Chain A
Amino acid sequence: MSPQTPDTFVNRLLGRIKLNGLMALAAPVLAILFAGVITSVVLILTDHPPVDTLLAMVEYGSTPRSLVGIINLASAYYLSAMAVALGFRMNLFNIGVDGQYRLAALIAAAVGGAVTLPKPLHIGLILIVAVAVGAAWAGIAGVLKARRGVSEVISTIMLNTIATGLGAWLLAQWAVPVAGSNNIGTNPIPESGHVPSIPLIPGAPNEVFGLFVVAVLVGIGFHVLLNRTRFGFNLRSTGLSEPAAVASGVDVKKMVIVAMLISGGMAGLVGMPQLLGSSYSYSLDFPPGFGFTGIAIALIGRNNPIGVAFGALLWSFLDVSQNILSLEKVSPEIVTIMQGVIVLAVVIAYELVHRYRIAAEQRRVSRELSAPVGMEGAAA
């Protein structure tokens, strides 16, 4: 489909135009080089040795315990980024993943803490509730867009705020004080709802969240859905050209709602590895903000399941290894700078390589046109 894809900045940004051969390799290499250079400059400016600092991060980040932490955090990032990526592929900007996963985690935790069921059923119920809540919350934005033409960017941002308020109110209704603490949380999920962890990394004292598997399955499902089904084809073609999709019989309104539902359902899973693998209760310190990180990671990963996996692991590695920085007396905010630079570097590097590709193509075409026979042919 790439010949029909209009060569615009948006399409290049969202990875809809593929690079071939050497150029596909050049872009990420260029991005990593660029990010490395900028980060080094910042480190030098602040009187820290760049090589030693980065080596300390790599050394700490590659210990078995850190690796487990990286994979666990990356599972949540990956699910969030895939939820965003699905929307991106059809030009839907689901900025509301953050609200969707927080509300889903809260309600799923409350339901999970209120019932007792045999193990697989209990876990299944919690996951289904989470997916349903995430999908329903995103679906509001989908319906608003399809029926009333409300921009999903605006409505999902508003829904984030509403989710925060609604979540705080619901938590206040359901919360029990965490024993002896100033923290409050939902009733803890009984043992039958816990997902056993996997000793994936040899030598690590901690274990990978069992729901890491769900992240992998969602990645595979995403690929199959988009590339092997009629629905995926319709979704991609709607994203590329809505009028063309309508002309070929795609019900765009239905597509918007369904895509939002699926994206929201995936978002609903974001909090699950943490909830069923470690927290077992939604409390005041349940991690917020994964939804926004997901947007950045979707951009880094070019909305491609494999690329996003790399992006999520990289981002998570930086988050986990920032602890070592303060121990080395380097301000941990350096990690925020690195993450920002990487997003910029990826956008810029791909754009540069694309422009090089376009220029090279134009040169090739003009060479062909300026060939003696070509002149008359083109004029005629």
Chain B
Amino acid sequence: MRRKLDVTEGEFTLLRNRFGRLIAGTAASAMLFAVAACGGDDTEAAPSGAPAASSSAPAAASAKVGLAYDIGGRGDQSFNDSAAAGLDKAKAELGVEVNELEAANGETDAQKEERLRLLATGGFNPIIAVGFAYSGAITKVAKEFPEIKFAIVDDAAEGANISNLVFAEEQGSFLVGVAAALKSTKNSVGFVGGVDVPLIHKFEAGFEAGAKAVKPDIKLQKKYLTQPPDFSGFGDPAKGKTAAEGMFDAGADVVYQAAGGSGAGVFEAAKAAGGMAIGVDSDQAKTADPTVADVIITSMLKKVDVAVFDFIKNFTANTVKPGITVYDLKAGGVDYSITGGKIDDIKAQIDEFKNKVISGEITVPTGA
């Protein structure tokens, strides 16, 4: 009898988990459709959305741009969305035709290759892959289609027809580290990283160096939300909130998040604790939920949109160069934001550091 009860419980848990995931999946899809239905297809977030521009754009630039997203796709309010913004801008200003494909959770390299190949055989040129996960796939597929131009964001995969759009995240993070240290009255700041991977280590290293450049004795708390291959740390606000709450409780008053979608939870925690937060990738004082946006003193801008737009623009002008393009502070690829006027008083000091980084007087560590 006991045994039987045991089994039924096990089975129930199993089914509930399975169905919970299904229901969540279905609900999410339904919401996605609702958004698509209400918002039209591509009007959202086109930065300089001139609706007439696409029709009046020169017909010469009729490139078909294919873009493959990393996990999360359009709508993650962060990394992928930034790429999407660049794509939308290219569509509006250059009149190019675009198509976007999304990655699924837990897929193999073969599926990523297939996605790029599908774009290549579908007549898309150029093709942009967003995220280092496409590293192996793009190397292979670019070889098969030498006449097509490929670009990959955040990775240095080599190929005669691959352009690498990489960023000096540590330099931007350095500046917000400076801002955090200057704004901290308790001499204690925090860093929340999404997933413990080398890419996010660059954010951490830059932030730490920036904070210590101002106050060498500052206390720094660090926390990564998940360990690979669990990449949920980039999309779990609850985890972000718990981590940030712990930091505020332990005396921090400014927390920098490099955790993608989990950052929303960090902002909530900052709001509840009366602390300050620093956003990442996009100007989050503008993109975050308005109820918490006032805790965001600045954001580390990683201008994936600029990189994507530049690449497409170069393509239409026939000036694409293979190899690495580093979007650093000097090139304006990374920066800090001033929306909200929370750091106007210390802007001069931050800019002083900014000039030192640009001139090479300060070399920011990359954590590698």
Q: Which residues of A approach B to under 8 Å, CB–CB?
A: 10, 13, 45-47, 65-66, 69, 72-73, 76, 91, 93, 95, 102, 151-153, 164-165, 167-169, 171-172, 177-184, 242-243, 274, 278-279, 284-290, 293, 295-296, 319-320, 322-324, 326-327, 329, 331-337, 340, 343-344
Contact = CB atoms under 8 A, between A and B. Distances in A.
14 contacts: A65-B114, A93-B14, A178-B135, A182-B132, A182-B135, A182-B199, A287-B109, A288-B229, A288-B230, A290-B106, A323-B101, A323-B115, A331-B36, A336-B29
A352 to B, nearest CB: 17
Contacts of A323: 101, 111, 114-115, 118
B76 interface: no
Given A180-B157, A181-B156, A182-B199, A320 B25 contact: no
B118 A73 contact: no
Interface string B104-135: 11111111001101110010000000001101
Contacts of A165: 227
B229 A164 contact: yes
Contacts of A151: 6, 9-10
A331 B29 CA distance: 8
B108 A287 contact: yes
A296 to B, nearest CB: 7
Given A168-B196, A288-B106, A320-B114, A333 B10 contact: no
B310 interface: no
Interface in B21-77: 22, 25-26, 28-29, 32-33, 36-37, 41
Nearest to B201: A182
A178 B111 CA distance: 20
B18 A274 contact: no
Contacts of B119: 327
A285 B109 contact: yes
B107 A287 contact: yes
A69 B114 contact: yes
Contacts of A172: 196
A10 B7 contact: yes
Contacts of B199: 182
Counting chain B residues whose Cβ lies within 8 A of the other chain, the interface size class is 35 or more
Given A151-B6, A319-B104, A324 B118 contact: yes
Nearest to B117: A65
A334 B136 CA distance: 27
B228 A284 contact: yes
B29 A184 contact: no
Given A168-B228, A284-B197, A333-B32, A73 B108 contact: yes
A46 B30 CA distance: 9
Q: Which of B8, B107, B122, B199 gathers the greatest number of chain A CB atoms within 10 Å?
A: B107
B18 A337 contact: no
Nearest to B132: A182
Contact of A102 (B109, B154, B229): B229
A333 B111 contact: no
Contacts of A284: 133, 197, 228-229
Given A284-B229, A289-B105, A337 B25 contact: yes
Given A177-B198, A323-B118, A69 B111 contact: yes
Interface pairs A-B: 9 shortest CB-CB: A168-B227, A289-B106, A180-B156, A340-B22, A333-B29, A182-B132, A182-B199, A288-B229, A326-B101
A167 B229 contact: yes
A172 B33 CA distance: 40
A180 B158 contact: yes
Interface in B154-211: 154-158, 196-199
